[in-house]
Amino acid sequence: MFQNIVFQTPAVIFGIDALKQIGQQAAKLGAGSVLLITGPQVKKAGLLEKTESFLKTEGISVKVNIQDRDTPEPATDVVEATAEIARKGDFDVIIGLGGGSILDVAKMASALCTNPGKTEDYFGRERVPKRGKPTIIVPTTAGTGAEVTKHAIFLDRAINVKKVVASSNLLPNVAIVDPALTLTCPPAVTASAGIDAFIHSAEAYLSKNANTMTDALALESISIITKWLGPAFADGQGMDARYHMSLESLMAGVVLNNSGTSLVHAMAYPVGGEHHTPHGVTLSALLIACFEYVAVAKAEKMAALARAMGENIDGLAPRDVVDRVLDAIHYLIRSVDLPASLTDLGISREKTDIHQWAVEAHKEQRLLTRSPRILSVEDIEKIYENAFE
C-alpha cells in the first residue's frame, strides 16, 4: 500500500542542559524582548531564574508572566488575560516554560497576537488562519507532548467543558526538551503524564491515521516507557530514567501530532469534565477497556505492541497475544499507582449516567473517525460498562 504522509514538527533541541541554548534560540528568532509564560512551581524550583539569565546573557529583555489558575485546565478567560499582556507588550517571541497547560496558554497567547477575536473563535480543527508570534516551548514534565503539537486544550468557562484548538498554526517554532527540568516533577505527575505519552503512541499506532514514520516512533517510545516509567516514578532524582522518559515523551508527542489520538481520549472527555480528574489519570482508567474492544481490528499490531513491551509471544494464539498486551498494560499502570478502571478511579457506577457519557464521547468524531473499530453510542456504553469492572 502506498502512503501519503504529511509530517510536521518544530525544530527540536533535546538533551541534558538543553535549556542553556534558550538565549541563542530566541536571538535566532529575532528576539529583542520576550514574554516568558510560566507557573509558580517553576519559580519555586529555581528554573525561572536560570532561564531568565540565559536570555539576558544574549541581551534579550524578559517580561515574566506567572500563570495563576483555579481549574485543572486553563480557562478561556485566563488565556484572554495572558493574550492581552502579549498583545500590549508587542514582544518578539513568546516562551512557554512549564507543564502542558502552561505550554498551551503560551501557544494560544502567541496565536492571539496576530489573529483577531478570542480563544472560543478557534475551537475545532484548523481554524487559526495565521501563525502567531514565534514560540519557544520548554516542558518541565514528560508526557503531554505539547512542545511538539498543534493542539491546545482549554476549559470553556461559560459551559464548563474542555475544548481543543487543533491548528497547524499553533505548532511551536522551537521545542527545547531538557530532561534535567523534570527532576522536580512529583511521582504522581510523573506517572500520569507518563501514561498520557504511552497512550499517545499506542492509540495513534492502532489508529487508521498511523503511517510508517509514526509507527516507528510509536513502537520505540512504547518500549522506552515500559522500561523507564517505573524507575522515574520510584526515584525522581534518577537522571537515567528522566532522560529516557523525556525522550519517549517527545517521540510520543510527534506521533500524536502526526497521527492523532482516538477512542481513549474521546471517552476521557466526559469523565474528566464531570469529575475533574487529571488527564493522564482519566485515560489510565479507560485504557484497558478501550484496547480490549479495538484489539479485534488490529491483530498484527497487537503482536508488535506486545513485543515492544518486552513480552515473549512466540507460538501464542492471537487471543493470547491480546491478553498479554492487556496484562502488560495493567502491570504498567498499577505499578505506578494509576487506576486501571473507573472503579479504581473512585467513580461510582450507580451514580453514573453511562448513556449520557457515551452520547458525549460519540460527538468527538474528530477523534473517533481514527478508531480502527467503528463505534456506535451503544458500543461506547459497553466500553464504559467494562471500564467499571
Nearer to Fe ion, 100 or 132 (CB): 100
Q: How many Cα atoms occupy the beta-carbon half-sphere of 137 within 13 Å?
A: 37
Residue facing Fe ion at closest CB distance: 196
Taken in order 177, 104, 94, 98, the sign of the CA dihedral is: negative
Kindly state the smallest distance separating residue 143's Cβ from Fe ion, in Å: 8
Phi, psi values for residue 93, rounded to 5°: -140, 140
Kindly state the smallest distance separating residue 256's Cβ from Fe ion, in Å: 7
Grid look-up 532524582 returns 237
Nearer to Fe ion, 86 or 146 (CB): 146
Site residues for Fe ion per CB under 5 A = 196
Kindly state the smallest distance separating residue 238's Cβ from Fe ion, in Å: 24
Which helix H or strand E contains 155, and what residues bound it? strand 151-156
Nearer to Fe ion, 92 or 196 (CB): 196
Could you tell me if 213 and 240 are in contact, meaning their C-beta atoms sit under 8 angstroms apart? no
User: What end-to-end distance do the CA atoms of the chain give, in Å?
Assistant: 39
Kindly state the smallest distance separating residue 350's Cβ from Fe ion, in Å: 29
CA 280 to chain centre: 9
Q: Which of 370, 355, 187 is nearest to 281 (CA)?
A: 187
Q: Which of 223, 380, 197 is nearest to 304 (CA)?
A: 223
Nearer to Fe ion, 52 or 196 (CB): 196
Strand blocks (E) in 169-254? 174-177
Nearer to Fe ion, 91 or 205 (CB): 205
Nine-digit cell string for 302: 497487537
Kindly state the smallest distance separating residue 356's Cβ from Fe ion, in Å: 23
Nearer to Fe ion, 151 or 244 (CB): 151
Radius of gyration of the chain (CA): 20
DSSP for 48-108, written as a single string: HHHHHHHHHTTT-EEEEEE---SSSSPBHHHHHHHHHHHHHHT-SEEEEEESHHHHHHHHH
Kindly state the smallest distance separating residue 166's Cβ from Fe ion, in Å: 12
Nearer to Fe ion, 113 or 332 (CB): 332
Kindly state the smallest distance separating residue 229's Cβ from Fe ion, in Å: 15
Nearer to Fe ion, 20 or 276 (CB): 276
Grid look-up 527545547 returns 176
Q: Which of 232, 140, 164, 239 is nearest to 194 (CA)?
A: 232
Kindly state the smallest distance separating residue 200's Cβ from Fe ion, in Å: 6
Q: Is 350 exposed, middle or buried (0-12, 13-18, 19+ CB in 10 A)?
A: exposed
Kindly state the smallest distance separating residue 270's Cβ from Fe ion, in Å: 15
Nearer to Fe ion, 143 or 179 (CB): 143
